[in-house]
């Protein structure tokens, strides 16, 4: 979490939001740090790959029995999971997968694919995910003390942000807020972030020239 922040913003004050298997934020301002979210799938992890996947499975069940109009998501899940009958998905996820977080979260890519095919339910799921991730950021901004007049650097980590549609929805929600945010693509990966954070806390922060060289090398 902290390494993701330190890498994505090169140790600069701001907020990093994670949307991988789980979701959370970490932000710092003038030495004050705060984490929001990251409670796990039973409590939330809203906007994460796991959350998107379970919402997708819910939509599939509704499409199967007629509570929702069948869209591309219905066919894509049947094909990906090679289901002979729709109810087979229950035994697959609960019995064969034993509710494995990673296996379930991997289905988020199917929801993203369906959204690219204009599946209405999948598009709503991604839109709701973007709202949840921005809510994490807004809460973090208030807690660490960024004022309404400050522009807050924001970056991101995690596989969900590799989907351009989710990233666009996320940016749109962020831009609608009264607070000022500057969304930046991650500068460095979390492993380098760990080294930057260690250097900072040992009293030997890297100079701006070294940080510039690191980011240039990554580019």
First to last CA, the chain: 23
Report how far residue 72's alpha carbon sits from residue 129's, in angstroms, rounded to the nearest whole number. 19
pTM attached to this predicted model: 0.91
Q: Of 214, 151, 158, which is closest to residue 187 (Cα–Cα)?
A: 214
How many CB atoms are located within 10 Å of the residue 13 CB?
18
Per-chain mean pLDDT for the chain = 93
| Domain assignment of residue 40, given as a range | 1-219
CA 141 from centre of chain: 17
CB 93 within 8 A of CB 99: yes
Strand, helix or coil for residue 87: coil
Q: Which pLDDT tens digit goes with each residue over 109-141?
A: 999 999 999 999 999 999 999 999 999 999 999
Structure tokens at 142: 């208030």
Instruction: Using the predicted structure, report yes or no on whether residue 100 has a pLDDT greater than 80.
Output: yes
The CA–CA distances, whole Å, from 132 to 25, 29, 84, 99, 117 equal 11, 22, 34, 23, 23
Average pLDDT over residues 79-101: 96
Report how far residue 139's alpha carbon sits from residue 154's, in angstroms, rounded to the nearest whole number. 13
CB 52 within 8 A of CB 111: yes
How many domains does the chain fold into?
1
Task: Specify the CATH number for the domain of residue 93.
Answer: 3.30.420.40
Report how far residue 145's alpha carbon sits from residue 150's, in angstroms, rounded to the nearest whole number. 10
Crossing angle, helix 120-144 and helix 164-176, to 10 degrees? 50
Percent of the chain beyond pLDDT 90? 81
Q: Which pLDDT tens digit goes with each residue over 133-186?
A: 999 999 999 999 999 899 999 999 999 999 999 999 999 999 999 999 999 999
**DSSP for residue 207:** P
Strand, helix or coil for residue 180: strand
Q: Of 187, 191, 195, 130, which is closest to residue 153 (Cα–Cα)?
A: 187
CB 106 within 8 A of CB 112: no
Instruction: Using the predicted structure, report yes or no on whether residue 192 has a pLDDT greater than 90.
Output: no
The pLDDT of residue 189 is 86
Half-sphere exposure of 139 (CA within 13 A, CB side): 14
């Amino acid at each position: 979490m902290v390494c993701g922040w330190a890498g994505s913003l090169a140790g600069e004050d701001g907020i990093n939001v994670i949307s991988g298997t789980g979701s959370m934020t970490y932000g710092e301002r003038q030495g004050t740090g705060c984490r929001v979210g990251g409670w796990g799938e039973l409590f939330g992890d809203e906007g994460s790959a796991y959350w998107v996947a379970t919402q997708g499975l819910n939509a599939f069940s509704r499409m199967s029995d007629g509570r929702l109009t069948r869209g591309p998501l219905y066919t894509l899940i049947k094909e990906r999971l090679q289901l002979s009958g729709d109810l087979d998905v229950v035994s697959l996820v609960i019995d064969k997968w034993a509710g494995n977080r990673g296996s379930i979260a991997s289905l988020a890519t199917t929801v993203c694919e369906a959204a690219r095919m204009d599946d209405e339910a999948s598009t709503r799921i991604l839109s709701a995910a973007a709202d949840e991730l921005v809510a994490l950021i807004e809460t973090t901004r208030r807690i660490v003390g960024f004022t309404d007049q400050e522009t807050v650097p924001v970056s991101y980590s995690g596989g969900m942000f590799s989907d351009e549609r989710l990233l666009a929805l996320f940016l749109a929600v962020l831009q609608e807020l009264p607070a000022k945010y500057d969304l930046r693509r991650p500068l460095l990966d979390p492993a380098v972030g760990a080294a930057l954070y260690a250097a900072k806390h040992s009293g030997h922060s890297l100079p701006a020239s070294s940080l510039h060289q690191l980011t240039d090398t990554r580019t």
